[in-house]
Homo-oligomer: A and B are copies of this chain.
Amino acid sequence: MVTITDIAEALGVTPSTVSRALAGNPRVSEERRREVQQAAERMGYERNIVASNLRRGKSDVVGIVIPRINREFFSNVISGAESILGRAGYRTIICQTHEEMETERRVLRALSRHRVAGVLMSHAIGSPDGSHIIPALGDIPLVQFDRVFDELPGAKVVGANFEGSYEATVHLIRNGYKRIGTLAGVMTSGVFKDRFLGYRKALEDNGLPFDESIVFPDSIVRETGHDACLRAIEAGCDALYSSGDFSALGAMDALRERGIDSPGQFGLVGTANEFFASLMTPSLTSLDQHPNEMGKQAALAFLEGRSDTTVIPMDLKIRQSSNRLYHG
């Protein structure tokens, strides 16, 4: 590959002049700048960013660490973040943790070795706390989004989980459901905890008893959602607020198996508003988290060097699975 030294030799000048010419430094004459730029073009020169970054002690890549990429939510966060970062001249390197803490630690160390300019991350379910993160990252700026550890320093971008699940639960209550359970996540994670707390508060505020036996923790994939829903049915539930869409999908599988009509006999609200939610029959009411906006905010928090917490409101997309009032 062509280097500035090659160009310098071809023109009989020194690499420093070439470097300055290409950087548009006013200390090199207009005439020479043109000469250098033409030669660079002609010889097919592309600046070696790796060398440039090393010398300048900078980096133009930011790491994005997520559980997995083939989730509507995460891939849209990435898109949002990328659109902002790309405009600011940054590249993104994307790492999946597959929900495992060990993998998370590994990719964080890899990013640290790459001396990335920053890391945007949503932690794995398998990480009970954030104690492994700072040791792995060193002093690289960290922005957490969606799933955040409150105890860690740095910027955070979160959905209004409490308010969202509160609204979702109130919506179920308004639709006349009386015994509403919840498919919860792991309580070590703030996101899932808040979604649970919003659900509970909504029950309390509306005079419905809170019953621990119809809280099903650790139910956020299709299978566990299915199994938990069966148990919810046994326990006499007539509705579920689910902390995820995949578990809501599993719940719908269970309802279909048992021949239970939704929304008629059973109400269901999911979270994330995955693309498939609108396509199911009945279509699934779900809380939209504005992933694109979340990605943008995370990117901005990094670019601006902030370390505050941004809250993104959630949007209840009312569809058939919960809408008994208009469905009959």
Interface residues of chain A, those whose CB is within 8 Å of chain B, are 1, 44, 46-51, 53-54, 59, 61, 68-70, 72, 75-76, 78-79, 82, 91-96, 109-110, 112-115, 135, 138-139, 249, 275-276, 279-281
Contacts and interface: CB of A to CB of B under 8 A. Distances in A.
19 contacts: A1-B138, A1-B139, A48-B115, A49-B110, A49-B113, A50-B54, A50-B115, A51-B54, A54-B54, A61-B93, A68-B79, A69-B75, A70-B72, A91-B93, A91-B95, A93-B94, A249-B279, A279-B280, A280-B280
Nearest to A137: B46
Contacts of A82: 96
A92 B63 CA distance: 10
A91 B53 CA distance: 18
Contacts of A96: 79, 82
Contacts of A139: 1
Nearest to A284: B279
A281 B281 CA distance: 6
B69 A138 contact: no
Main secondary structure of the interface of A (DSSP, over half): mixed
A46 B110 CA distance: 9
Given A1-B138, A1-B139, A70-B72, A113 B279 contact: no
Contact of A94 (B92, B276, B280): B92
Contacts of A47: 113
A44 to B, nearest CB: 7
Number of copies: 2
Given A53-B50, A79-B68, A91 B115 contact: no
Given A70-B72, A75-B69, A46 B138 contact: yes
A192 B171 CA distance: 46
A70 B76 contact: yes
Contacts of A112: 46
Contacts of A110: 49, 91
Nearest to A44: B138
A280 B280 CA distance: 5
Nearest to A71: B75
Nearest to A113: B49
Nearest to A47: B113
A46 B280 contact: no
A107 B128 CA distance: 37
Contacts of A75: 69-70, 75
Contacts of A91: 93, 95, 110, 114
Contacts of A281: 280-281
Given A44-B135, A49-B110, A92-B93, 10 more contacts: A46-B109, A50-B115, A69-B79, A91-B93, A91-B95, A91-B110, A92-B94, A275-B276, A280-B281, A281-B281
